[in-house]
C-alpha cells in the first residue's frame, strides 16, 4: 500500500515542492493550506505521516499538533514540523505538544524522502 | 510539474503575499494593536522567506529575515509601532517587492538601499542582529545529521563508550516515535549494542498493546561527543526515562570505527540509507522529565470541538482554483467572438429565407443567442480581476511622491474588489500611476499650507472603483487646493493652445489640462514632469475605449474620473445607418433616442442646429457630416437623434439616419487591420458578413467642432467587405 503524507502549509510554493518531491518518490500526497483545513481533512485522508508548518493562518502548527495529539480524534502518526524557524524554544514547544521531528526549510528532498520512508516504513 | 513551473508559482504566490503585505501594513496604520493584522503581515514576509529559501534566493531570504525579525518583535509586543517604524515597514515592504522582482527577472539590485534598510531594521533589535541568528548554510539542514565536532582530535583515537538506558513512556509511542529509529540514528555514530529489558512484560492475558513495557540498555562506542547523543533524543525528551553515562573505565581507546554492517546482531541493523534522523534529538539533560508534563497537558477545548464539526467543512478554506495559461483564455475569447458573429449570420440567413412557419425556429435561435451570450460572459469573467493589486501598487506611489515633495499624504481605496478585464488593469497601471503622482505633486498642498487652510496636515488621495451600467468607473481624487484655473488658462493662452479673448466655462478650462503640450506646474518637477502629460493619460484611457474627465472645487480638491468598458472584446451596440453606411454605436454611451418633431429643431447661426428636449436646448451633431460623408441625405426626415453625454460639452444629440437593431458585436481593432480613423474606435463584422465601423461619440463631437477636418480624406472612401 502506498504511504500517505498529509502536508499542511500555507505556502503554495512549499506545497508544490513537497508534492513534486514526495509524489516523485511514490508517496500518496495530500495537502492542506492552513492548520484548520489540515485537522479537518485528517480523518478522511488518514495519513501515515503528517508534515506541518508552524506559522499559518486560522490554526498554527502547534494547534495542529495539539489537536491531532489530544483531540477526540487523537492519533499516533508521526508529525514532522517543517519550518524556517530553528529556535530551541519553538522546538521544545513543538516537542511538548507532541511533534515527532523537526525539519528546517529549505529542505533537501532526497533526505526528506528517505526520512519519511524510514519513519513510515517502521511504523507500518 | 517542473522545477521551473514551481518557481513560477512561487513568484505568483509572492505577488499575492506582497499584496497581503501591503494591505496588512495599511491596516496597521489604523490599528497597529491588532495582532491578527500584525500576524498576517508577519506571515506574508515569512512565507516569502520560506519559498525563497527553497530556490536559494539568499539575498531575498536574508532581507526578509531582517524584516520578519523586527515584525516578530512587534508581534511579541516587545516593540511599539510609531510613525517612524511604520514608514520603515512600508519602505521595507517596497524593497521586498523589488527584491522579488529582481529575483524573478534575475537582475541585480542596488545594495545601498538594502544596506540602509537592514541597518535601520536592525537598530530595532537591540544589537542582536538578525543575520547572526540566521545562518543559511547551517540550515539546509538538520537532515545531514548533527555536525560532527572533531575538536581537532583524531576521531579514531578519541572513541569512547557510552552506556544508555532508555525507557520510553506510553506518550512516546503516542507521539509517533519509534525506538528503532533512534537506535538507527545512534548506530550511525559508531558501534552499537542493544539489549532489551523485558522484565516488565506482563502475562499474555493482561497484555495491553498500547502500554510501554519495553526498555533498553544500549552501549555505543563512538568518537562523537555526548551532546550529539543527546541530540538524537531531543524529540523524545520528557517522553522517556533516559540516562547517558560515559564509561570512565573504558576511556578513549583506539578502535576502528566498524562499518555499520559489522554491528553486533542485537543491534538494530541500520538501513542502507545513510541519512540520520530528522533531528529527533538534542540537548536533553541526562535524567528523566516526567511524562506527566505531557500527558497532563490540557487540550484546548475550542480546538478540539472545531475539529469535530464536519458540517462546516466544505465552507472552510479558499475555493478551489485552476491556473490556466492566459493564451488559452484569449483563444477561447476569440472563438467566442467568432461564435457570436456566426450566430448573427445564422439569424440573418434565416430571416432572409422568409420561411412561412419559423416561430419555433426563432425561439431556438433566441435561445442560441442567449447561450452564446452566457458563454461570452463566462469567458469574460475568467479574465476579470479585482483592481485591488493595482490600487495597492498606488499606495507605494503615494508614499514615494510624498517623500519626494515633502507633502504628507495617505491613500484610501474604495471598491477595490471591483473586477475589471486583466488587460484593462495592466494598461491602466501607467496612467493611474501618473495621475496619482500628479495628485500628490500638484493636487495636495504642503503641510503648512494645509494647516493654514484649516485642513488636516496629511492630505488624502482617494482611489475608488465601481461598476455602473456596464462600465467601470475609477476615480482618483485628492483633497488639495483644487485646480488653479487662472493659471491654467493663462498657460494655455501663452502656449497658443487656445485663442485669446474667448470665454471658457470652468469645466472647459479644466479640460485644457488634457491638451497635448500642456504642462501645469510653473516648473516641471522631477516627479510629475517625466515627459508625460495628461494628454498621454487621456490617450491611454481612450485606447481602452474609456474616457477620462475632471472636476475640481477650489479649496476642496480635484477628481479625475475614468470610465471604462467592462471588456475589450465584445460590446452592446445599436446598428445604425449613416449616409447609406451601416455602423455601430456603443449603447453604453447613449442616454436616449429621440425621433424629433421638426418644430423642436432650431437653427442657430448659419448651420448649427439645436433640439429642444424637455425645455432645454441640446446641440445637434450630424454624424455623416462629422465623418466627412456629407450631410444627412434627407434633411427633412431629421433622422433619429441619439442623446449622448460627453465630457467635452455635456449633452449632445447625434443625428443618424436610422436605427436598425440592437445587438452584441465583437470588437475588431481597426488600427491593427487598417489604420486609425478619427471618430471611429473599432470595427465589427455583422451578420451579413459586412464590416461595420464602431463609432466613438466623443470623438465625433470633437470632430464636429474642428471644421474643415475630413477624417476620410487621407484614406479615400472605404469599401470594406468581409471575406
Asked whether residue B585 falls in the same domain as residue B533, the answer is no
C-alpha separations of B220 from A118, B192, B193, B246, B413 in Å: 21, 4, 6, 9, 67
* CATH classification of the domain holding B7: 1.20.120.160
Query: What is the Cα–Cα distance from B371 to B721, expressed in whole angstroms?
Result: 28
Query: What is the Cα–Cα distance from B514 to B538, expressed in whole angstroms?
Result: 7
- Facing residue for A99 by CB, picked from B1, B235, B271: B235
Neighbours of A90 (CB within 10 A): 16
Q: Which of residues 263-322 of B touch A (CB under 8 A)?
A: 271, 273, 275, 277-280, 282-283, 293-294, 297-300, 303-304, 306-308, 310, 313, 316-318
Q: What average pLDDT does this structure show over B453-474?
A: 85
- How many domains are there within chain A? 1
What 3 state SS string does B350-364 have? HHHHCCCCCHHHHHH
pLDDT for position B177: 80
- Shortest alpha-carbon distance between residue A3 and chain B (Å): 15
pLDDT for position B584: 92
Contact residues on chain A for B50, CB-CB shorter than 8 A? 11, 13-14, 53, 83-84, 105-106
Question: Which residue from B500, B498, B395, B407 is spatially nearest to B447, judged by alpha carbons?
Answer: B407
Asked whether residue B653 falls in the same domain as residue B624, the answer is yes
Contact residues on chain B for A76, CB-CB shorter than 8 A? 173-176
* N residues, chain B: 723
State which residue of chain A sits closest to B303, comparing Cα positions: A67
Burial class of residue B700, CB neighbours in 10 A (0-12, 13-18, 19+): buried
Cross-strand bridge partners of residue A28: A4
**8 Å CB contact of B235 and A57:** no
Tell me chain A's radius of gyration from C-alpha atoms. Answer: 13
Taking a C-beta distance cutoff of 8 angstroms, is the pair B553, B542 a contact?
no
Using one digit for the tens of pLDDT, what is the confidence trace for B61-72? 888 888 888 888
- Facing residue for B176 by CB, picked from A33, A39, A76: A76
pLDDT above 60 for B706? yes
Asked whether residue B61 falls in the same domain as residue B129, the answer is yes
Judge whether B285 lies within some domain: yes
Query: What is the Cα–Cα distance from B565 to A15, expressed in whole angstroms?
Result: 38
Contact residues on chain A for B234, CB-CB shorter than 8 A? 91, 95, 102
Asked whether residue B609 falls in the same domain as residue B650, the answer is yes
In which order are the strands placed within the sheet that holds B616-622?
B590-594, B640-646, B650-656, B616-622, B608-613, B601-604
Tell me chain B's radius of gyration from C-alpha atoms. Answer: 38
- Encode B355-364: b = buried (16+ Cβ within 10 Å), e = exposed: eeeeeeeeee
pLDDT for position B476: 92
Judge whether B60 lies within some domain: yes
* CATH classification of the domain holding B666: 2.30.30.40
Q: Is A54 on the interface with B (CB under 8 A)?
A: no
Average per-residue pLDDT in chain B? 75
Using one digit for the tens of pLDDT, what is the confidence trace for B332-343? 888 888 888 888
The band of B649, judged by pLDDT with boundaries at 50, 70 and 90, is low
**8 Å CB contact of A114 and B176:** no
Taking a C-beta distance cutoff of 8 angstroms, is the pair B208, B177 a contact?
no
Tell me which residue has cell 488621495: B461
Judge whether B521 lies within some domain: yes
The band of B464, judged by pLDDT with boundaries at 50, 70 and 90, is very high
Using one digit for the tens of pLDDT, what is the confidence trace for B555-606? 889 999 988 877 667 778 899 988 888 999 988 778 889 888 888 888 887 7
pLDDT above 90 for B243? no
Judge whether B145 lies within some domain: no
Taking a C-beta distance cutoff of 8 angstroms, is the pair B440, B407 a contact?
yes
State which residue of chain A sits closest to B50, comparing Cα positions: A84
Judge whether B299 lies within some domain: no
Q: Percent of chain B, pLDDT > 70?
A: 77
Asked whether residue B72 falls in the same domain as residue B115, the answer is yes
Asked whether residue B264 falls in the same domain as residue B171, the answer is yes
Q: When comparing pLDDT for B706 and B601, which is higher? A: B601
Using one digit for the tens of pLDDT, what is the confidence trace for B359-379? 677 788 888 888 888 888 888
**8 Å CB contact of A13 and B51:** yes
* CATH classification of the domain holding A49: 3.40.50.2300
Contact residues on chain B for A36, CB-CB shorter than 8 A? 306, 316-317
Query: What is the Cα–Cα distance from B635 to B40, expressed in whole angstroms?
Result: 68
Neighbours of B622 (CB within 10 A): 23
SS3 B28: helix
**8 Å CB contact of B175 and A84:** no
- Facing residue for A12 by CB, picked from B9, B39, B175: B9
Query: What is the Cα–Cα distance from B428 to B560, expressed in whole angstroms?
Result: 14
Candidates A7, A80, A84, partner chain B, best to mutate (most B CBs within 10 A): A84
**8 Å CB contact of A103 and B273:** no
pLDDT for position B493: 81
* CATH classification of the domain holding B207: 3.30.70
Query: What is the Cα–Cα distance from B440 to B399, expressed in whole angstroms?
Result: 9
pLDDT for position B184: 79
Last residue of a domain, one of B385, B401, B428: B385
Q: When comparing pLDDT for B30 and A80, which is higher? A: A80
- How many domains are there within chain B? 5
| Domain containing residue A102 | 4-123
Asked whether residue B351 falls in the same domain as residue B371, the answer is yes
Using one digit for the tens of pLDDT, what is the confidence trace for B401-445? 888 888 888 889 898 888 888 888 888 888 888 889 888 888 888
Asked whether residue B542 falls in the same domain as residue B470, the answer is yes
| Domain containing residue B544 | 387-565
Judge whether B302 lies within some domain: no
pLDDT for position B716: 36
pLDDT for position B140: 29
Q: Percent of chain B, pLDDT > 90?
A: 2
Query: What is the Cα–Cα distance from B570 to B344, expressed in whole angstroms?
Result: 13
Using one digit for the tens of pLDDT, what is the confidence trace for B681-705? 888 888 787 888 988 887 788 787 7
- What is the interface pTM, i.e. ipTM, of the complex? 0.73
- Shortest alpha-carbon distance between residue A44 and chain B (Å): 11
Q: Which of residues 222-251 of B touch A (CB under 8 A)?
A: 234-235, 237-238
Taking a C-beta distance cutoff of 8 angstroms, is the pair B140, B122 a contact?
no
Asked whether residue B380 falls in the same domain as residue B393, the answer is no
Cross-strand bridge partners of residue B655: B622, B641
Query: What is the Cα–Cα distance from B145 to B135, expressed in whole angstroms?
Result: 16
Asked whether residue B525 falls in the same domain as residue B554, the answer is yes
- Give the cell for residue A115: 526520512
Asked whether residue B95 falls in the same domain as residue B167, the answer is no
pLDDT for position B32: 65
**8 Å CB contact of A96 and B282:** no
Asked whether residue B164 falls in the same domain as residue B280, the answer is yes
Query: What is the Cα–Cα distance from B368 to B381, expressed in whole angstroms?
Result: 20
pLDDT for position B583: 92
Amino acid at each position: 500500500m502506498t504511504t500517505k503524507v498529509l502536508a499542511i502549509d500555507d505556502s503554495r510554493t512549499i506545497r508544490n515542492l513537497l508534492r513534486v518531491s514526495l509524489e516523485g518518490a511514490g508517496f500518496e500526497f495530500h495537502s492542506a493550506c492552513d492548520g484548520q483545513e489540515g485537522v479537518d481533512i485528517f480523518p478522511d485522508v488518514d495519513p501515515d505521516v503528517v508534515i506541518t508548518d508552524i506559522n499559518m493562518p486560522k490554526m498554527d502548527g502547534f494547534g495542529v499538533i495539539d489537536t491531532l495529539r489530544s483531540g477526540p480524534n487523537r492519533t499516533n502518526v508521526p508529525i514532522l514540523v517543517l519550518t524556517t524557524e530553528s529556535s530551541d524554544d519553538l522546538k521544545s514547544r513543538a516537542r511538548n505538544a507532541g511533534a515527532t521531528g523537526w525539519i528546517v526549510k529549505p529542505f533537501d528532498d532526497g533526505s526528506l524522502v528517505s526520512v519519511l520512508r524510514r519513519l513510515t516504513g517502521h511504523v507500518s | 510539474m517542473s522545477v521551473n513551473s514551481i518557481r513560477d508559482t512561487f513568484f505568483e504566490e509572492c505577488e499575492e503575499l506582497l499584496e497581503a503585505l501591503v494591505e496588512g501594513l495599511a491596516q496597521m496604520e489604523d490599528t497597529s494593536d491588532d495582532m491578527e493584522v500584525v500576524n498576517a503581515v508577519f506571515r506574508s514576509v515569512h512565507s516569502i522567506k520560506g519559498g525563497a529559501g527553497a530556490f536559494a534566493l539568499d539575498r531575498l531570504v536574508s532581507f526578509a529575515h531582517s524584516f520578519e525579525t523586527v515584525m516578530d518583535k512587534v508581534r511579541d509586543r516587545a516593540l511599539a509601532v510609531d510613525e517612524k517604524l511604520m514608514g520603515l515597514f512600508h519602505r521595507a515592504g517596497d524593497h521586498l517587492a523589488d527584491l522579488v522582482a529582481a529575483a524573478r527577472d534575475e537582475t541585480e539590485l542596488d545594495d545601498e538601499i538594502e544596506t540602509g534598510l537592514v541597518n535601520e531594521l536592525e537598530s530595532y533589535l537591540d544589537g542582536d542582529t538578525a543575520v547572526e541568528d540566521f545562518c543559511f548554510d547551517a540550515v539546509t539542514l538538520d537532515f545531514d545529521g548533527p555536525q560532527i565536532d572533531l575538536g581537532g582530535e583524531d576521531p579514531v583515537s578519541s572513541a569512547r563508550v557510552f552506556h544508555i538506558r532508555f525507557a520510553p513512556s506510553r506518550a512516546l509511542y503516542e507521539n509517533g516515535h519509534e525506538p528503532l529509529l533512534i537506535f538507527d540514528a545512534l548506530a550511525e555514530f559508531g558501534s552499537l549494542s542493544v539489549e532489551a529489558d523485558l522484565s516488565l512484560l506482563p502475562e499474555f492475558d493482561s497484555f495491553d498493546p498500547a502500554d510501554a513495557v519495553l526498555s533498553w540498555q544500549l552501549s555505543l562506542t563512538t568518537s562523537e561527543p555526548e551532546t550529539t547523543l543527546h541530540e538524537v533524543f531531543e524529540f523524545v525528551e520528557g517522553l522517556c526515562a533516559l540516562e547517558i553515562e560515559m564509561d570512565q573505565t573504558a576511556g578513549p581507546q583506539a578502535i576502528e570505527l566498524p562499518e555499520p554492517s559489522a554491528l553486533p546482531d542485537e543491534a538494530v541493523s541500520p538501513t542502507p540509507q545513510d541519512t540520520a534522523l530528522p533531528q529527533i534529538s538534542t540537548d536533553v539533560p541526562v535524567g528523566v522529565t516526567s511524562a506527566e508534563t505531557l500527558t497532563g497537558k490540557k487540550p484546548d477545548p475550542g480546538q478540539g470541538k472545531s475539529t469535530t464539526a464536519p458540517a462546516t467543512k466544505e465552507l472552510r478554506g479558499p475555493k478551489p482554483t485552476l491556473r490556466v495559461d492566459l493564451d488559452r483564455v484569449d483563444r477561447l475569447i476569440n472563438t467566442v467572438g467568432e461564435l457570436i458573429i456566426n450566430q448573427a449570420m445564422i439569424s440573418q440567413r434565416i430571416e432572409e429565407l422568409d420561411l412561412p412557419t419559423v416561430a419555433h425556429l426563432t425561439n431556438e435561435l433566441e435561445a442560441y443567442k442567449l447561450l452564446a451570450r452566457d458563454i461570452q460572459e463566462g469567458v469574460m469573467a475568467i479574465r476579470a480581476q479585482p483592481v485591488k493589486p493595482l490600487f495597492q501598487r498606488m499606495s507605494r506611489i503615494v508614499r514615494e511622491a510624498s517623500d519626494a515633495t515633502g507633502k504628507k499624504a495617505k491613500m484610501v481605496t474604495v471598491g477595490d474588489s471591483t473586477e475589471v478585464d486583466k488587460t484593462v488593469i495592466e494598461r491602466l497601471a501607467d496612467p493611474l500611476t501618473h495621475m496619482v503622482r500628479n495628485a500628490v505633486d500638484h493636487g495636495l498642498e504642503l503641510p503648512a499650507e494645509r494647516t493654514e487652510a484649516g485642513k488636516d496636515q496629511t492630505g488624502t488621495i482617494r482611489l475608488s472603483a465601481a461598476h455602473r451600467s456596464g462600465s467601470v468607473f475609477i476615480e482618483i481624487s485628492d483633497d488639495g487646493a483644487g485646480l488653479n484655473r487662472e493659471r491654467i488658462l493663462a498657460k494655455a493662452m501663452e502656449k497658443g493652445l487656445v485663442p485669446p479673448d474667448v470665454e471658457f466655462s470652468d469645466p472647459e478650462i479644466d479640460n485644457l489640462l488634457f491638451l497635448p503640450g500642456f504642462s501645469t506646474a510653473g516648473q516641471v518637477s522631477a516627479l510629475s514632469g517625466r515627459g508625460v502629460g495628461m494628454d498621454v493619460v487621456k490617450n491611454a484611457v481612450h485606447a481602452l475605449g474609456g474616457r477620462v474627465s475632471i472636476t475640481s472645487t477650489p479649496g476642496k480638491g480635484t477628481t479625475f474620473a475614468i470610465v471604462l468598458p467592462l471588456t475589450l472584446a465584445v460590446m452592446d451596440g445599436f446598428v445604425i445607418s449613416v449616409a447609406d453606411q451601416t455602423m455601430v454605436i456603443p449603447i453604453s454611451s447613449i442616454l436616449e433616442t429621440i425621433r424629433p418633431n421638426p418644430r423642436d429643431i432650431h437653427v442657430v447661426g448659419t448651420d448649427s442646429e439645436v433640439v429642444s428636449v424637455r425645455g432645454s436646448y441640446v446641440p445637434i451633431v450630424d454624424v455623416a457630416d462629422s465623418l466627412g460623408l456629407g450631410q444627412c441625405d434627407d434633411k427633412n426626415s431629421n433622422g433619429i437623434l441619439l442623446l449622448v453625454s460627453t465630457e467635452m460639452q455635456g449633452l449632445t444629440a447625434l443625428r443618424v439616419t436610422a436605427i436598425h437593431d440592437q445587438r452584441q458585436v465583437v470588437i475588431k481593432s481597426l488600427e491593427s487591420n487598417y489604420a486609425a480613423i478619427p471618430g471611429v474606435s473599432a470595427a465589427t463584422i455583422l451578420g451579413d458578413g459586412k464590416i461595420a465601423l464602431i463609432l466613438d461619440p466623443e470623438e465625433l463631437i470633437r470632430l464636429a467642432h474642428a471644421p474643415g477636418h475630413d477624417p476620410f480624406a487621407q484614406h479615400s472612401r472605404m469599401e470594406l467587405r468581409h471575406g
